[in-house]
């Protein structure tokens, strides 16, 4: 049976290098791992307890929750916005953290990677994502890390899937996350 890894990307722009990284992960996933790129984060409204009503959750948020329920693991791709996690990703985490105690992360493995223009590759944003997802109920695999600096230059002409070093690092990330998801399923 294939392990389903849900990829969530924290940048909405069409040319996003984090989205390209996620596309590369889809392509490079080892046998038995199915990386699924979630489409539709732009349509998920800001989390608001008043609209999070059982049986009447806004459709884009319900779609996100369903995709998360169907996943065995999560792979976040985060750029860094002003030293931290972009709002779109934080919003997704907030929706997935509720209902309290029964959120969709459900102790499933989570890895966080990403690329940013700065010299540290968005490490603050990725650390903040780990912190938030862990509080939201995910089992964060702390030692799976990949922060690629200089995104705008490095990927200006080259898709991450065609960058041999990045492709190898991403393959390792997905392979290791796949392994953790297998352990969780067997437990
Ligand atoms: C609002 C905003 C804030 C940003 N803040 C940071 C930052 O704190 N650190 C950083 O390395 N890059 C920062 N950047 C640059 C992003 O890293 C760069 O635009 C990156 O390519 C965005 O990821 P994407 O290609 O997936 O859209 C910022 C960009 C925007 C639009």
Cβ–Cβ under 8 Å, residues 2 and 32: yes
Per-residue pLDDT 10s for the chain (187 aa) are 799 999 999 999 999 999 999 999 999 999 999 999 999 999 999 999 999 999 999 999 999 999 999 999 999 999 999 999 999 999 999 999 999 888 999 999 999 999 999 999 999 999 999 999 999 999 999 999 999 999 999 999 999 999 999 999 999 999 999 999 987 766 6
Determine if the pTM surpasses 0.85: yes
Nearest alpha carbon, ligand 1 atom 23: 79
Confirm or reject: Cβ of 13 under 6 Å from ligand 1: yes
Report the distance separating Cα 56 and Cα 58, nearest Å.
6
Task: Give 167's strand partners.
Answer: none
Confirm or reject: Cβ of 16 under 6 Å from ligand 1: yes
Question: At a CB cut-off of 8 Å and minimum separation 6, what does 107 contact?
Answer: 137, 138, 139, 184
Report the distance separating Cα 174 and Cα 25, nearest Å.
7
Confirm or reject: Cβ of 87 under 6 Å from ligand 1: no
181 alpha carbon to ligand 1 midpoint, in Å?
30
Confirm or reject: Cβ of 18 under 6 Å from ligand 1: yes
């Amino acid at each position: 049976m294939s392990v389903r890894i849900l990829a969530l990307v924290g940048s909405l722009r069409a040319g996003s290098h984090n989205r390209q990284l996620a596309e590369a992960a889809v392509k490079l996933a080892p046998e038995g791992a199915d990386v699924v790129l979630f489409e539709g984060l732009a349509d998920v409204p800001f989390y608001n307890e008043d609209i999070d009503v059982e049986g009447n959750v806004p459709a884009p948020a319900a779609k996100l929750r369903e995709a998360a329920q169907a996943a065995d693991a999560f792979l976040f791709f985060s750029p860094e916005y002003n030293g931290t996690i972009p709002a779109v990703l934080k919003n997704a985490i907030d929706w997935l953290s509720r209902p309290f105690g029964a959120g969709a992360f459900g102790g499933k493995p989570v890895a966080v990677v990403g690329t940013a223009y700065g010299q540290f590759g968005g490490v603050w944003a990725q650390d903040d994502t780990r912190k938030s997802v862990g509080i939201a109920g995910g089992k964060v695999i702390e030692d799976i890390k990949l922060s690629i600096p200089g995104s705008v230059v490095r990927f200006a002409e080259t898709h991450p899937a065609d960058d041999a070093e990045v492709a190898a690092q991403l393959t390792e990330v997905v392979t290791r996350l796949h392994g953790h998801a297998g352990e969780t399923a067997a437990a």
